[in-house]
Amino acid sequence: MKQAIVTGAAGGIGKAIAELAAARGYRVGVLDLDPEAVGQAAASLDGAVPLPADVSDEASVEAALERFGETPDLLVNCAGILRVGPLAELSADDFRAVVNVNLTGAFIAGRAAATRMMRRGSGCIVNVTSVVGIDPSPGSGAYGAAKAGLANLTRLMTLEWGPAGIRVNAVAPGFIDAGMSAPFYADPAVRALRGGGVPLRRLGTAEDVARTVLFLASDEASYISGEEIVVDGGVIHSVLAQLPRKAPEG
Ligand SMILES: NC(=O)c1ccc[n+]([C@@H]2O[C@H](COP(=O)([O-])OP(=O)(O)OC[C@H]3O[C@@H](n4cnc5c(N)ncnc54)[C@H](O)[C@@H]3O)[C@@H](O)[C@H]2O)c1
């Protein structure tokens, strides 16, 4: 049986990834902060293992991997937090907290999984980044910088761990109607405005992201490493289309 650990697996996108991994035959380690939420998320999946842990804490992650028991075939770094506010008013503590989970946490969990995968000579890691790490969004504080760092770290992991048989890729979701963005999109006006600005004319779902993660984990992607796949319905390419311009003459 294939083994997967998903961090942030009690959250909107992480839970969808854990569910799809379980449906594709993985034994899933559900890793997240709150033991109760972890227990509930794991209980809904066949054979899943609850792993309450803090990705920014090395001892906590190490204990979770030991509890999981098996070397993971797949690690998905999906744990993340967002602290919004204009940079000029953002506290250094909020900045550090975001980097600590989104970037340092992925390093800590990635290293813990990779050292085990290296001993076996195979494995796959998928880091969940964001379109905000490609094009910064005003008011998103350290979030985009941390995700851009994670995209770069994905490439470094590929260089250093690829020779040991480990593929590492990233998935950058766009406007996803789930998890940390769900309260924002609960407002129908925001949904219409944001969804209407996407070339595919809809918000993304957690399942859109989960399918891409599981594709990257599959043998179909056996020669893909160091890539960041954007899952955003094309929105990242729509800047020029949204700028006002003069109507063509005649
Ligand atoms: N929802 C979106 O629109 C969107 C868009 C782009 C990227 N993302 C990314 O997708 C991932 C999942 O986000 P989501 O929307 O499902 O949000 P979410 O808040 O529902 O899920 C994030 C999960 O990470 C967990 N977490 C936070 N800190 C942790 C820590 N220190 N250790 C372990 N777990 C921790 C949280 O408890 C939560 O369950 C995040 O990395 C986020 O940055 C989300």
Q: Is the CB of 52 under 6 A from ligand 1?
A: no
Helix (H, G, I), strand (E, B) or coil at 103: helix
Nearest to 57 by CA among 31, 30, 82: 31
Q: Give the per-residue pLDDT at 244.
A: 87
Per-residue pLDDT of 36-59, as tens digits, reads: 999 999 999 999 999 999 999 999
Structure tokens at 223: 């020669």
Evaluate whether residue 246 is within a structural domain: no
Evaluate whether residue 199 is within a structural domain: no
CATH number for the domain spanning 54: value is: 3.40.50.720
Q: Give the per-residue pLDDT at 13.
A: 98
Q: Which of 6, 7, 13 to mutate to test the pocket of ligand 1 (most atoms within 8 A of CB)?
A: 13
Evaluate whether residue 21 is within a structural domain: yes
Q: Is the CB of 212 under 6 A from ligand 1?
A: no
Nearest to 65 by CA among 98, 123, 110: 110
Does the pLDDT value for residue 131 go beyond 90? yes
Task: Give all strands (DSSP E) within 92-176, no chain letters.
Answer: 123-128, 166-173
Nearest CA to ligand 1 atom 39: 11
Structural domain total, the chain: 1
Evaluate whether residue 138 is within a structural domain: yes
Evaluate whether residue 79 is within a structural domain: yes
Ligand 1 centroid to residue 9 C-alpha, Å? 8
Per-residue pLDDT of 162-197, as tens digits, reads: 999 999 999 999 999 999 999 999 999 999 999 999
**Residues labelled catalytic:** 143
Evaluate whether residue 38 is within a structural domain: yes
Evaluate whether residue 185 is within a structural domain: no
Evaluate whether residue 132 is within a structural domain: yes
Q: Give the per-residue pLDDT at 246.
A: 87
Domain residues for the domain of 103 are 2-176+205-232
Q: Give the per-residue pLDDT at 247.
A: 83
Per-residue pLDDT of 216-239, as tens digits, reads: 999 999 999 999 999 999 999 998
Average pLDDT of the chain? 97
